[in-house]
Structures are given as C-alpha cells and as structure tokens.
Amino acid sequence: MKQDTSATKVITPIARIRTDFPEKFGIPRQSGLVPELTGRIVFEPAWRKAAAIKGLEEYSHLWLIWEFSEHRDAPVKASVTPPRLGGREKRGVFATRSPFRPNGLGLSCVTLNGIDYDAPEGPVLLVGGADLLDGTPIFDIKPYIPYADARPHARGSFGEAHKDDHIAVSFPKEMMNRLPKELRETVLKVLAQDPRAAYQKKPGTVVGMAFGEWDIRFVGDDACLTVVDVQKRDETLVHVK
C-alpha cells in the first residue's frame, strides 16, 4: 500500500521555558549572546520522568526546537528586512533567522547548567544563554554534539559580520542599585545588544524593557544607551515602547 505523504502531523509541546522576558522586546537576537541569561525548562506532565532525560547531564549544551508562539497569526513573506542590516536591506526568509516563518519554528543552542530533580514540576532543566520569551512552547530537546554540530570554517553572511555589534550603556549608580546584584551584569549585557528597532532610534525616544519583575527605561543615540528609570513592574503605570 502506498504511503500517504500528504498527511500533516500535529506536534505538541513537550515542555515550556521560564525566562525573565515577559515581552518580546529586549530578547537577544540569537542564543548565547548573553550567557548570563538563565531559564528553567519545565516539562509537560507526560514527560516529567527522570527516564526521559537519563544521560543528559553528560552534555554541556542542548538544542531547543521551539515555537514563535507570539507570531502564530502574523503574515509570512518571502522577503524580510533583518534588524542587523538596519531594517532597510531585504533577504529571503530562509536566508535569515526571522521569527516570521512559514511554520514558526525556532532553534536555539543553550548551555545545560544543571538539572533540578527535586523541583515540584518534576525534573527541571536549568539552562543559560536562552533567547526565548517566558512560557515559550518547546517541541524537542536534543544534545549538542561538538564533532557533528560545530563547523568552525562555515560562512555566516551578515550574521557573522555583525556578531560583535554592541552599544555603550550608561547606567547611573542610583538606578543600578535598584536592581538585585545578581541581575545587574545581565541587564547591562542585554542592553548592550541594543534591542531597539530602527523606528526607536530617534534621539530622545524613551524606550521601556521588561526584565523579570523590573521595568527599565532608557534613551539613546547611535553611540550610547542611557538608563533613565528603573521600577518594579507593578509600580509602573505605563510601559513605553
């Protein structure tokens, strides 16, 4: 009997990740750019089994296959304008890591910092360097295998050319001290990635970024971002974006 290759398989999440990004704005454009970012991968009830992750602790890095869940109904075009090209030059959608994709799938490489076997939700993976929105559905987890996955001499197009892009950050001590000590370096590195879209780069524009329970507001030009306010998110009446 000939196999029906037209059938579509429905895939469902095996886990969700908890991160400090309740909103898309501010998330690094690639995984690993800010290694200090941490996340907790909480499995769905059917996969909360130690047997499912036996041996995973033998690896230092993981591949996550996940869904751009905030873009489910967004239109997908053949050409996109990558932010790293200033939002002016076009590339084919399959030549970019654009979140607006035909099947909305994302791929991230994260560090495996540990496994919490005693968590109430069953074994929880503790990861670093994640570029995912809080609550993002994860469809699969695979170990990163250096000899097969690393290609040191591969060409990286404009992504490689802009891998070291960053911007100076001025963070007044008074406002920095409002953040818990363990978050300060991480927030600085996130801001140094310059999360602004092209339309937000007009000098004097106040931009707000949610990070965990904090709302961080800043202004900037082409050379520097300056933090102008730090507040607990429940104390902030208006989130500027």
Q: What local confidence, expressed as pLDDT, does residue 237 receive?
A: 41
Strand partners for 217: 208, 229
- Look at the pTM and tell me if it is higher than 0.75: yes
pLDDT surpassing 70 at residue 222: yes
**Contact, 83 vs 135, CB < 8 A?**
no
Per the model's pLDDT, the better-predicted residue between 50 and 156 turns out to be 50
Strand partners for 15: 43, 138
Whole-number average pLDDT of the chain: 88
In degrees and rounded to multiples of 5, residue 51 shows phi and psi of -60, -30
The 3-class SS string of 86-121 reads: CCCCCEEHHHCCCCCCCCCEEEEEEEEEEEECCCCC
pLDDT surpassing 60 at residue 235: no
Q: What local confidence, expressed as pLDDT, does residue 8 receive?
A: 79
| Six token digits for residue 63 | 């591949």
Q: What is the mean pLDDT of residues 163-186?
A: 92
Per the model's pLDDT, the better-predicted residue between 222 and 139 turns out to be 139
Q: Which residues 6+ apart lie within 8 Å of 177 measured at CB?
A: none
Q: What is the mean pLDDT of residues 224-240?
A: 75
Q: Is 32 left (phi over 0), alpha (psi -120 to 50) or beta?
A: left
Summarize pLDDT for 18-70 with one digit per residue, the tens: 999 999 999 998 899 999 999 999 999 999 999 999 999 999 999 999 999 87
Q: Give the dihedral sign, CA 20/31/93/198.
A: positive
Q: What local confidence, expressed as pLDDT, does residue 1 receive?
A: 46
> How large a percentage of the chain has pLDDT more than 90?
63
pLDDT surpassing 70 at residue 239: no
Measured between alpha carbons, how far is 67 from 99 in angstroms, rounded to an integer? Answer: 9
Q: What local confidence, expressed as pLDDT, does residue 241 receive?
A: 37
pLDDT surpassing 60 at residue 2: no
Q: What local confidence, expressed as pLDDT, does residue 192 receive?
A: 95
Question: Would you report the helix, strand and coil content of the chain in percent, each value rounded to 5?
Answer: 20, 30, 50
Q: What is the mean pLDDT of residues 132-152?
A: 95
Distance from the first to the final alpha carbon of the chain: 57
Q: Give the dihedral sign, CA 59/27/14/104.
A: negative
Q: What local confidence, expressed as pLDDT, does residue 114 receive?
A: 97
Which of the four pLDDT bands, split at 50, 70 and 90, describes residue 191?
Answer: very high
